[in-house]
């Protein structure tokens, strides 16, 4: 099994991707560890975070057993920088064909953002490994299920507003995995150093997703 296939397999097996979008990367390794303790082993840090590339490099060496990726990647240059920093997968908020091309060139998993069926199919045909459906909080599980009707071959990843309360519904609707950010990495908890809140929310989310996964099998 090559590296890219291994990464994709891990993402699909775990079915939960934590999104870290913070103001500073000072405590980044602690954030990643807090999520890992709760069972979230796949994490992305958004490129909108100051020092994101440095954070990926540092976390790759300090936190074992966590698949580290880069999110909000908007261009090929940033994609290449993230890959060189150690990102094992890339995530875009929209259909960015040059990022998809860069990921394919370097043999890295790419999860392309999209919303409409046309965008979803465009991203898939361009070479995306999975397609992030955003904003999931507005579109809802029923939208995901409807899109999978004519496009069952495309692994869809709902993102935006995912919590332990609704994650199971998206899995039942056919989601390949779910991405959780704001609810999972609570800003107030991070600001006050209460990392146990992140661990507990991670545990709840993973538990919900795994339960739904078993119900689907």
Q: What is the CATH number of the domain that holds 85?
A: 3.20.20.70
User: In which domain, by residue range, is 150 found?
Assistant: 3-210
Active-site hit among 44, 88, 96, 169? 44
DSSP per-residue letters across the chain: --HHHHHHHHHHHH-EEEEE--S--TTHHHHHHHHHHTT--EEEEETTSTTHHHHHHHHHHH-TT-EEEEES--SHHHHHHHHHHT-SEEE-SS--HHHHHHHHHHT-EEEEEE-SHHHHHHHHHHT-SEEEES-HHHHHHHHHHHHHTT-TTS-EEEBSS--TTTHHHHHHTT-S-EEE-TTTS-HHHHHTT-HHHHHHHHHHHHHHHHHHHHHH-
Q: Is 45 a member of any domain?
A: yes
The pTM assigned to this predicted structure is 0.95
Catalytic residue flag (residue 96): no
**∠ CA(174), CA(179), CA(183), 5° rounding?**
125
Q: Is 215 a member of any domain?
A: no
pLDDT confidence of residue 29: 86
Nearest alpha carbon to residue 183 among 38, 25, 26, 30: 38
pLDDT confidence of residue 60: 72
Q: Is 73 a member of any domain?
A: yes
The structural domain count of the chain equals 1
Q: Is 147 a member of any domain?
A: yes
Facing residues of 44 across strands? 19, 69
Q: Is 216 a member of any domain?
A: no
* Residue-wise burial string across 153-166, b where 16 or more C-beta atoms lie within 10 A, e elsewhere: ebbbbbbbbbbbeb
Q: Residue 89: what are its φ and ψ, rounded to 5°?
A: -155, 160
One pLDDT digit (tens) per residue for the chain, 217 residues? 799 999 999 999 999 999 998 877 777 889 999 999 999 999 999 999 999 999 998 877 667 889 999 999 999 999 999 999 999 999 999 999 999 999 999 999 999 999 999 999 999 999 999 999 999 999 999 999 999 999 999 999 999 999 999 999 999 999 999 999 999 999 999 999 999 999 999 999 999 999 999 998 8
> What distance separates the 2 farthest-apart alpha carbons in the chain?
46
Q: Is 65 a member of any domain?
A: yes
Prior bond of 133 cis (ω within 30°): no
Q: Is 93 a member of any domain?
A: yes
Active-site hit among 4, 96, 132, 169? 132
Catalytic residue flag (residue 44): yes
In angstroms, the CA 93 to CA 33 distance is: 25
Q: Is 217 a member of any domain?
A: no
């Amino acid at each position: 099994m090559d590296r890219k296939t291994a990464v994709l397999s891990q993402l699909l097996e775990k079915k939960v991707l934590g999104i870290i979008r913070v103001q500073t990367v000072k405590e980044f390794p602690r954030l990643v560890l807090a999520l890992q303790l709760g069972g979230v082993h796949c994490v992305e840090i958004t490129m909108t975070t100051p020092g994101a590339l440095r954070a990926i490099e540092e976390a790759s060496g300090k936190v074992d057993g966590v698949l580290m990726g880069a999110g909000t990647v908007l261009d090929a240059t940033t994609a290449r920088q993230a890959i060189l920093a150690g990102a094992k997968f890339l995530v875009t908020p929209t259909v960015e064909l040059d990022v998809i091309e860069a990921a394919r060139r370097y043999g890295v998993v790419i999860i392309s953002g999209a919303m409409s069926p046309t965008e979803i199919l465009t991203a898939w045909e361009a070479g995306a490994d999975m397609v992030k459906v955003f904003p999931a909080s507005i579109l809802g599980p029923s939208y995901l299920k409807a899109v999978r009707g004519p496009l069952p071959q495309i692994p869809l990843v709902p993102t935006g507003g995912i919590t332990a309360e609704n994650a199971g519904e998206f899995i039942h609707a056919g989601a390949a995995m779910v991405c959780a950010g704001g609810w999972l990495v609570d800003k107030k908890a991070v600001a006050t150093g209460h990392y146990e809140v992140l661990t507990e929310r991670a545990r709840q989310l993973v538990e919900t997703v795994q339960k739904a996964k078993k119900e689907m099998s």
